[in-house]
Amino acid sequence: MKEKIVNKWHVLTGGFFSYMFDAMDITLLAVALPVIMKDMNMTMAEGGLLGTATLLGVGISSIVVGWYSDNYGRRKALIWSLVLFGILTAAISLSPNWITILILRFLAGLGLGGVWGIIAAYIAETWPAKQRGRAAAFVLSSFPAGAGISAFLASVIIPLYGWRGLFLAGAGSLVAALYIYLFVPESEVWKKQREERLQKGEPVNVSISEIFSPELIRITFFATLAASFALVAYWGSTTWIPTFLVQERGLDMQTMSIFFLILNIGMFVGYNLFGYLADIIGRKKAIILSFLGTTVTLPIYVMSESTIALLWLGPVYAFFISFAGLFGSYFGELYPTRVRTLGAGFCFNVGRGLSAFSPFVLGFVSAKYGLTVGIGICALFFLAAAITMLFLPNTNHKTN
């Protein structure tokens, strides 16, 4: 019993730092993009395509890494994901041109996409149902923590060493990989389920087709659709908010980085408070509430012209961006142990993959109508996500 308690805290700690570096590696591009575009003389569309390449890699990896995790273990899959994206993100510092960055972002995305699904499965399999919402929300609140760290590092490193020096920080994920290797055991629930199937003579290896079985296809379809709408909105806005603050609101790079850091502090608080709320009112209701909050606050934020208003409205808007943490517990409960990483990871990360074209398309829209309009459109996708959630079941805090 004592070992079980210790293990769940190691999962919590290892998961937090793993997803923190995942977030940091993704958002390094967003905070460095204004400088990279200027340095390499990129168009808005070319800049957006760098974000698109990352998310395409993420979408593909959700299937590959999810399949590997359900067949060969959560621990191995998480370690390899961390090593892969850490090395490839650091390699961007040596990129001679735009096309090299594009290729490296896509390849790094192949590692980045696996982390969320593995952590969602780990939490579902190591934490009791009554604490699972807040545990998942806390672990996944490391995303705004990682994004905030990337903004802080940008404000310190870019003025001194340029954007290339900033990307070397991506190798920090190797520290998280070492922690997982030393302290985080394989999921006992996963091992037990595998052994039981062996004893019964049932197929052990997982097939991707299982999440499209008659019992699960409706869940897979609507969960993927909800995640897609939400992530189109999130990545479309997040990729361009730093550039919006610099180009349309006149902030310098250092001030923009501070604003982006404060925005992510609001998101961190929102993740954790919504996690507690989800354990009280249910995952589904909490997710819908977060979507409605972003639908209202995002347009108000981007239409504000006052620097002081932007400083305070940023964290208010970001407070409601808690859906990724809530999805962590909710999607984990939608699927049985056998296909949990594959199912949860597929829905969330295929959503990220489908959202890949959002930064690219918004780059075109913003070039014609301005970033205020481009980012404001994302609110409609948050609303669509809220509506789609109505077609999914309440999980009642179950896992099997």
| Pick from 87-101, 170-184, 364-378: least confident | 364-378
Read off the pLDDT band of 256 (50, 70, 90). confident
For 50, residues 6+ apart whose C-beta sits below 8 A from its C-beta are 29, 33, 36, 98, 101, 102, 105, 359
Pick the closest to residue 240 from 145, 112, 362 (CA basis).
Answer: 362
Pick the closest to residue 142 from 123, 128, 161 (CA basis).
Answer: 123
What's the pTM? Answer: 0.75
Q: Taking the mean position of all CA atoms in its chain, how far away is CA 317?
A: 17
Per-residue pLDDT of 213-227, as tens digits, reads: 999 999 999 999 999
For 218, residues 6+ apart whose C-beta sits below 8 A from its C-beta are 391
Instruction: Domains for the chain: give ranges and CATH numbers.
Output: 2-184+210-389 (1.20.1250.20)
Please determine, for residue 352, whether its predicted confidence score (pLDDT) is greater than 80: no
Distances (CA, A) of 63 to 58, 70, 103: 9, 11, 20
The pLDDT of residue 18? 93
Please give the full DSSP string across 63-74, using - where no structure is assigned.
Answer: HHHHHHHHHH-H
Please determine, for residue 130, whether its predicted confidence score (pLDDT) is greater than 70: yes
Read off the pLDDT band of 89 (50, 70, 90). very high
Q: What does the pLDDT average to over 270-295?
A: 92
Per-residue pLDDT of 156-199, as tens digits, reads: 899 899 999 999 999 999 999 999 999 998 888 888 877 877 77
Helices and strands (H and E) in the chain: how many: 16, 0
Please state, rounded to an integer, the average pLDDT across all residues of the chain.
86
Per-residue pLDDT of 56-67, as tens digits, reads: 887 788 778 888
In terms of average pLDDT, the best of 151-160, 169-178, 260-269 is 169-178
Please determine, for residue 334, whether its predicted confidence score (pLDDT) is greater than 70: yes
Q: What does the pLDDT average to over 132-151?
A: 84
The pLDDT > 70 percentage for the chain reads 96
The pLDDT of residue 319? 93
Distances (CA, A) of 97 to 36, 40, 93, 102, 363: 10, 7, 11, 9, 20
